[in-house]
């Protein structure tokens, strides 16, 4: 695959960038949905047969005091990259969701998904951006579902 060529190639890519993130927070008790928006900062390393890894921070909020923030540590390979260029989440280094004056931490997450993709320009073997989606569930009632995208350089 093209990502395999980048991963095993002689160039080590250590890329950083920032972009947008947003999520819908769902309060299962009240049935209310709340939209939060904000930024993400992403760091990716791939190439020279190193273990591909990513990390980043995601910070979203709204004017009502609702928020979702989480981070992934690149140096401990909290974010992994498969041989197909797909990003996955191995571990969180921090997590906090605040919804309707209730705060939820990482310990209350009962299910999570994270799917991202490295994006390359139309020509050449490099990586120019990332995009993906995530979800976190707290029991059967409360959840966060969102998406992100960032240019890398």
pTM of the model: 0.92
Please state, in angstroms and rounded to a whole number, the distance separating the CA atoms of residues 67 and 92. Answer: 17
Q: Is the CB of residue 43 less than 8 Å from the CB of residue 15? A: yes
Q: Are strands 53-61 and 79-81 parallel, antiparallel or unpaired?
A: antiparallel
Taking only the tens place, the pLDDT of each residue in 25-61 is 999 989 999 999 999 999 999 888 788 899 999 999 9
The rounded distance, in Å, linking the Cα atoms of 149 and 72 is 15
pLDDT at 6 over 60: yes
pLDDT at 124: 65
Please provide the size of the chain in residues.
153
Structure tokens at 145: 């579902």
The one-character DSSP state at 122 is S
State the CB neighbour count (10 A cutoff) for residue 32: 12
Residue 151's pLDDT is 93
Pair 136, 143: CB distance under 8 Å? yes
């Amino acid at each position: 695959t093209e990502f395999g060529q980048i991963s095993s190639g002689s160039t080590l890519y250590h890329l950083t960038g920032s972009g947008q993130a947003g999520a819908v927070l769902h309060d299962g008790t009240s049935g209310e949905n709340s939209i939060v928006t904000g930024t993400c900062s992403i760091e990716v390393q791939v190439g020279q047969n190193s273990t591909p890894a990513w990390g980043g921070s995601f910070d979203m909020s709204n004017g009502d005091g609702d928020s979702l923030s989480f981070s992934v540590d690149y140096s401990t390979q909290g974010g992994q990259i498969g041989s197909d260029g797909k990003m996955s989440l191995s571990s969180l280094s921090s997590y906090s969701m605040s919804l309707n004056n209730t705060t939820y931490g990482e310990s209350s997450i009962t299910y999570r998904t994270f799917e991202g993709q490295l994006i390359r320009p139309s020509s050449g073997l490099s990586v120019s951006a990332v995009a993906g989606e995530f979800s976190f569930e707290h029991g059967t009632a409360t959840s966060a579902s969102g998406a992100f995208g960032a240019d890398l350089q």
